[in-house]
């Protein structure tokens, strides 16, 4: 790689730059050869049996059909063995709660894919809100041709159960689209040169009217090319109709605009404040401490104001949530008359209900057992009868997920306690297992929580095959969750060691800095030049597991995907002495060139800019591709990705595997799914194969099968 810009970081030799041609014949031949080597290795294990057992979970017809309410119907997307591409379907409430739900199939993606010769992957639906709010009929369906982020938007009629003849049809791209009315869309898409940002997302939003050619759409809003994305949405709430535009500068900085008098008027708040406009209310969540009219509101707090007053110059706000050292705000949801706050207290859920018209009176919703995750959100805040109904989604490592529904007490109504509507079956044997929470101490003295799932009678002699999972980025929180994949793929596994002791798999989830478990400060602590803290935290958990006798180095593996792939890539290159095996999925690894690959430019706010020499000084310290050294004893590693991943892309994984092998790292395997996008899989079979590959590789490596 060379650079003509003297202000950029010095160039270095990249002998595997040729692998960046994603669809080149030579490159795909290399991929197929590497795939064959990995598949031959796995064929000598129990891979096929594991794959089938995991597929049973994904294809189970007893899984919870999660549903979203639109008008009088509840909509669900479903995949199983008979419908690998999936069905989009709907039902009534009476049928949904019945033992045998009767579904009306709206679209069969397997039939559509066969008819059109394209392997369509479901990406969701965007409904047009009808005038009466009940008779929902038109929707834009989001369909990806390969499972990537780029998708086609097509207008569909749920009554006719067919695409609308001559209806809206936006070609495949990384688009951002919303309804502006029955015959109008706000469209951000690839309109040609200059219409996409450096991050590969739309930099303009245009007004597209029914029957109009895409090229003739009128410019409505635009952002600079080096910003991340432009988004325009029409708030369709009756009585509060308005247009809102957002200039997403990067992941953590935005400008929000309201359309007033034919002009865009910017909301006067700092760039790092999250904004939510709902009916007459304005909610504001600062990511750093914010001084407003002489009062400092801490990062991670939630402020409420009258939208009309705030935009009119009266900036009086009510602080309706104040974070504590152990408690953070994760999300919120509006019912018709209440605001639900989903909190974490030391990574266990807590839910608060606020009454806006009663001075934001707060009370706890008693629905959250310890070491579990419970999320509350509105069923349909516009429904006359069900406006204050709420869903509860509760789950735990050993507790199958449950969907419950309740009604909040408002005025003279007593409401009703949430009762279970659907419960997931148990997919693995939990007898003898327990969940514990522990805290490791990182290099700078910070206490880092982690969950441990394993036998109650765990022998603490370091001999237990243990899988450590983590992420640590983008303020994303990892919380307890039931997973038939983890259960069957790891927790149910047993092996008798040479001393005659039966071992079961132990699963560990680390809540390291860079995530959002303790709010924005927890995330900010590992940004850019402080990225090493996330890796020190993860290493501290590994060391704590060894110190407590859970797993010694040869029995401890780690896994991560995407930003988590970067995490375990750093474990592989900087902390190889702590791990017996590494599974690295759809990863960032080449931090010198990540901004030039796929959507990488949009992550500069997280990692730093490698083209700035001062920032490259710290970025290179966590770039696994540049940290590989000859003569180092690396643990066995499986590096896996997907050709159609247009978010991170497959080339970083390719180059990492190639460079490690060229430097003599003997136990490195690579696999690339030829479809599936950033998720690594486009259907249940591919998902089962991906998980089975990772679990089987790790188990064999940690129990001597790769020796």
Give 635-647 pLDDT, tens digit per residue: 999 999 999 889 9
Helix, strand, coil percent values for the chain (each to nearest 5): 25, 35, 40
Model confidence over 176-207: pLDDT tens digits? 999 999 999 999 999 999 999 999 999 999 99
SS3 165: coil
pLDDT at residue number 413: 85
Residue 123: Cβ within 10 Å count: 18
- Element at 547 (helix H, strand E): helix 532-547
Question: Rounded to the nearest 5 degrees, what angle is found at the Cα of 424, between the Cα atoms of 418 and 429?
Answer: 125
Contact 669, 647 (CB under 8 A): no
The b/e string for 51-76 (b: 16+ C-beta within 10 A; e otherwise) is bebbbebbbeeebbbebbbbbebbbb
- Cα distance between residue 94 and residue 26, in whole Å: 57
pTM to 2 decimal places? 0.95
Contact 88, 109 (CB under 8 A): yes
- Cα distance between residue 105 and residue 328, in whole Å: 41
- Cα distance between residue 99 and residue 117, in whole Å: 37
pLDDT at residue number 675: 73
Catalogue the active-site residues: 562, 678
- Cα distance between residue 106 and residue 154, in whole Å: 14
pLDDT at residue number 133: 86
pLDDT at residue number 681: 62
pLDDT at residue number 412: 82
Average pLDDT, 10 consecutive residues per value, the chain (707 residues): 37 89 97 97 95 96 96 97 97 97 98 97 97 94 94 98 98 98 98 97 98 97 98 95 98 97 97 98 98 97 98 96 98 98 98 97 96 98 96 98 97 91 97 98 98 97 98 98 98 95 97 98 98 98 98 98 98 98 98 95 97 98 97 97 92 98 95 77 87 97 89
The set of long-range contacts for 109-112, using a CB threshold of 8 Å and a minimum separation of 24, is 109/83, 109/85, 109/143, 110/83, 110/84, 110/85, 110/86, 112/85
Q: Which two tokens stand for residue 459?
A: 């022998």
């Amino acid at each position: 790689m060379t650079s003509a810009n003297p202000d950029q970081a010095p160039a270095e030799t990249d002998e595997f730059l040729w692998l960046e041609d994603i669809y080149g014949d030579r490159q795909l031949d290399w991929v197929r050869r590497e795939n064959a080597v990995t598949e031959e290795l796995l064929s000598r294990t129990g891979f096929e049996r594991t794959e089938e057992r995991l597929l049973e979970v994904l294809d189970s017809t007893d899984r919870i059909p999660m549903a979203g309410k639109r008008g009088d119907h509840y909509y669900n997307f479903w995949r199983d063995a008979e419908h690998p591409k999936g069905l989009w379907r709907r039902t009534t409430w009476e049928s949904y709660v019945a033992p045998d739900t009767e579904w009306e199939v709206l679209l069969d993606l397997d039939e559509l894919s066969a008819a059109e010769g394209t392997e369509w992957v479901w990406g969701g639906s965007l409904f047009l809100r009808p005038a009466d709010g009940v008779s929902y009929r038109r929707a834009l369906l989001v369909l990806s041709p390969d499972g990537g982020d780029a998708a086609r938007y097509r207008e569909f009629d749920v009554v006719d159960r067919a695409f609308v003849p001559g209806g809206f049809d936006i070609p495949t791209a990384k688009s951002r689209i919303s309804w502006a009315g029955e015959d109008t869309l706000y469209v951000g898409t690839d309109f040609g040169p200059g219409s996409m940002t450096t991050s590969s997302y739309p930099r303009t939003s245009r007004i597209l009217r029914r029957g109009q050619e895409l090229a003739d759409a009128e410019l409505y809003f635009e952002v600079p090319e080096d910003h991340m994305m432009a988004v325009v949405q029409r708030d369709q709430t009756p009585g509060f109709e308005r247009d809102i535009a957002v200039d997403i500068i990067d992941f953590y900085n935005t400008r929000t605009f309201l359309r007033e008098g034919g002009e865009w008027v910017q909301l006067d708040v700092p760039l790092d404040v999250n904004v939510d406009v709902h009916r007459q209310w304005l909610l504001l969540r600062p990511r750093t401490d914010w001084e407003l009219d002489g009062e400092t509101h801490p990062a991670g707090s939630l402020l409420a104001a009258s939208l009309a007053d705030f935009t009119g110059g009266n900036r009086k706000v009510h602080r309706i949530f104040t974070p504590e050292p152990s408690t953070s705000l994760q999300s919120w949801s509006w019912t018709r008359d209440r605001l639900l706050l989903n909190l974490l207290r030391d990574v266990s859920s807590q839910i608060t209900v606020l009454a806006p018209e009663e001075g934001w009176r707060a009370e706890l919703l008693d629905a959250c057992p310890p070491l579990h995750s419970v999320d509350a959100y509105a069923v349909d805040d516009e429904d006359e009868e069900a406006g204050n109904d709420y869903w509860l989604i509760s789950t735990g490592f050993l507790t199958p997920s449950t969907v419950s529904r309740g009604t909040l007490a408002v005025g003279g109504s007593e409401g009703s306690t949430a009762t279970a509507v659907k419960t997931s079956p148990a997919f693995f044997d939990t007898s003898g297992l327990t969940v514990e929470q522990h805290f490791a101490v990182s290099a700078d003295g910070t206490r880092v929580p982690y969950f441990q799932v394993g036998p109650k009678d765990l022998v603490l002699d370091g001999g237990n095959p243990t899988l450590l999972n983590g992420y640590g980025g983008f303020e994303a929180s990892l919380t307890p969750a039931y997973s038939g994949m983890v259960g069957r793929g790891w927790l149910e596994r047993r092996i008798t060691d040479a001393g005659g002791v039966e071992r079961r798999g132990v699963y560990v989830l680390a809540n390291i800095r860079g995530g959002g478990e303790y709010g924005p400060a927890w995330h900010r602590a590992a940004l850019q030049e402080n990225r090493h803290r996330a890796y020190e935290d993860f290493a501290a958990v590994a060391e704590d597991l060894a110190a407590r006798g859970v797993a010694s180095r040869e029995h401890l593996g780690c896994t991560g995907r995407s930003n988590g792939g970067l995490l375990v890539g750093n474990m592989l290159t900087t902390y190889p002495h702590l791990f017996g095996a590494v599974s690295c999925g759809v990863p960032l690894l080449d931090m010198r060139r990540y901004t030039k690959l796929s959507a990488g430019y949009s992550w500069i706010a997280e990692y730093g800019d490698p083209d700035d020499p001062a920032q490259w000084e710290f970025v290179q310290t966590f770039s696994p591709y540049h940290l590989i050294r000859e003569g180092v004893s690396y643990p066995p590693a499986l590096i896996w990705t997907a050709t159609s991943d247009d978010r991170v892309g497959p080339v970083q994984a390719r180059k990492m595997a190639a460079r490690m092998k060229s430097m003599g790292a003997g136990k490195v395997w690579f696999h690339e799914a030829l479809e599936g996008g950033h998720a690594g899989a486009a259907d249940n079979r591919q998902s089962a194969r991906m998980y089975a590959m990772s679990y089987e590789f790790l188990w064999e490596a940690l129990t001597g099968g790769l020796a």
